[in-house]
Structure 1
Amino acid sequence: MASHLDLEEQEQLDQLKAFWNSYGNLITWVLTLALAAYAGWVGWGWWQRDQAVKAAAMYDELDRAAQAGEVDKVTRVFADLKDRHPRTTYAAQAALLAAKLQADKGQADNARASLEWTAANANADEYRDLARLRLAGLQLDAKQYDEAAKTLDAVKSVDFAALVADRRGDLALLQGKPEVAKAEFQKAYAALDKTLDYRRLVEVKLASLGVAVADDADKKVAQ
């Protein structure tokens, strides 16, 4: 009986050896690749968290400098941030903040450069489109009308459609096209939420062109 069991065990062992000889290398490679993939995934997650922490620290430094009005320091920190952590949300936010301060301090060229970088490199569509809207405004100030038109053409988000129309109205006015400006301002006015203060500004622009507007509620009262 013991001899019979020994033979069965030996047969199973031989079968296992044969199986391993046939598939051992494949199994080893599969396990190695699986472990490598897992290690890579864990490492990538750690690297992303590490980058985010470092980017957040740099953004905090930039924000403090911006609140203090230290435009040169803001420009310097932003340059480091976009070089080291360009694909983080902090880099996009820092670019918009830097551009605002640069514009406020009369550094229009630096502001345009910051916004151009954001429009090309920000990690989210909303940041890229917001940068384009602000960039178009600076281009209008610099009388770069063709560039402003191209910048506005690149804004694709429907959330910014009203603001794009408003900017196009400004562009048309500067180009001496009042009828085009009226149409764009009317488009912007219709699309903007009635609770937004900015809508009143568009209303003033329309009034300056001889266009009177009224909300539905105002019309009912008038009737």
Structure 2
Amino acid sequence: MAKHLDLEEQEQLDQIKHFWAQYGNLITWVLIAVFGSMAAWNGWNYWQRNQAIKAAALYDEIERAAVARDADRIERALTEMKDRFAGTTFAAQGALLAGKTLFEAGKADGARAALSWVAEKSSDESYQAVARLRLAALDLEAKAYDQALKTLEAPLPKAFEPLAADRRGDVYLAQGKADEAKTQYQNAWRALGGRFEYRKLVEVKLASLGVDVSTLSPATEASP
């Protein structure tokens, strides 16, 4: 019986040797690739976490500088953020905050540069849309009406379309084009729907132009 088992074990061993001789190199390389991929993935995740932590620290610096109204400090922190962590969400958030604070500090050029960077470089469409709306507001403030309308020509996520229509209405109104302003405000009012408090502001604008919103058609019939 023992001899039979020894022969059987020898046969299995020979089969294993034959299998390994035929497929051993392939299996080895597959294992190397698998474990190498796992190591690379873990390394990438670690790098991403490390980048996010450092970017968050710089965002905090921008935030503190904004509270202190220290424009120079904001610009230095934002420059470092863009140079080192341009691909992070914190960079877009920091640039939007910097744009707002720099504008309030009277540094319109710095604000425009920060917002333009978000509009052009951010990978998030929502942040890009916010930046474009704010850029259009800067253009409106500077009476650069054609530039404001051009800024608003870029495609925006659907949720931002009524805000863009409202901003276009502001530009047309500033140009003395009441009919065009009415059309844009009406489009904004219809698209916003009753859930948004912002709609009340648009109603006030329409009322100032002699439009009674109760006479407007439903949203499904809104002008393009």
Matched residues in 2 for 1:142 and 1:165: separation? 19
Matched residues in 2 for 1:40 and 1:190: separation? 51
Stretches of 4+ aligned residues off by more than 6 angstroms: none
Q: Which residue pairs with 1:190 in the alignment?
A: 190
In structure 1, runs of 5+ residues without a counterpart are 217-223
Q: Is the CA contact 1:169–1:183 (under 8 Å) kept in the aligned structure 2?
A: yes
Q: Which residue pairs with 1:80 in the alignment?
A: 80
Higher alpha-carbon deviation: 115-124 or 125-134: 115-124
Matched residues in 2 for 1:11 and 1:113: separation? 76
Structure 2 residue 43 is the aligned partner of structure 1 residue 29: no
Q: Which residue pairs with 1:181 in the alignment?
A: 181
Matched residues in 2 for 1:210 and 1:2: separation? 106
Matched residues in 2 for 1:196 and 1:215: separation? 19
Q: Which residue pairs with 1:107 in the alignment?
A: 107
**CA RMSD, Structure 1 to Structure 2 (Å):** 2.2
Q: Compute the displacement of 1:193 (Å).
A: 5.1
Distance 1:175 1:192, change over 3 A: same
1:168-217 deviations in Å (ceiling 9; x for gaps): 1122223442211111112223333557554443334333333344599x
Matched residues in 1 for 2:215 and 2:127: separation? 31
Matched residues in 1 for 2:106 and 2:79: separation? 19
Matched residues in 2 for 1:215 and 1:130: separation? 31
Q: Is the CA contact 1:166–1:184 (under 8 Å) kept in the aligned structure 2?
A: yes
Distance 1:124 1:173, change over 3 A: same
Matched residues in 2 for 1:6 and 1:197: separation? 85
1:124-163 deviations in Å (ceiling 9; x for gaps): 2211111111111112223333432232122422211221
Partner SS state of residue 211, structure 2: coil
Q: Which residue pairs with 2:162 in the alignment?
A: 162
Matched residues in 1 for 2:81 and 2:100: separation? 17
Q: Which amino acid aligns with 2:185?
A: F
Matched residues in 1 for 2:204 and 2:158: separation? 24
**Number of corresponding residues:** 216
Q: Which residue pairs with 1:121 in the alignment?
A: 121
Structure 2 residue 181 is the aligned partner of structure 1 residue 153: no
- TM value normalised by structure 2: 0.86
Q: Which residue pairs with 2:8 in the alignment?
A: 8
Paired-residue identity, %: 56
Matched residues in 2 for 1:67 and 1:196: separation? 29
Q: Is the CA contact 1:132–1:155 (under 8 Å) kept in the aligned structure 2?
A: no
Partner SS state of residue 21, structure 2: helix
Q: Compute the displacement of 1:118 (Å).
A: 0.7
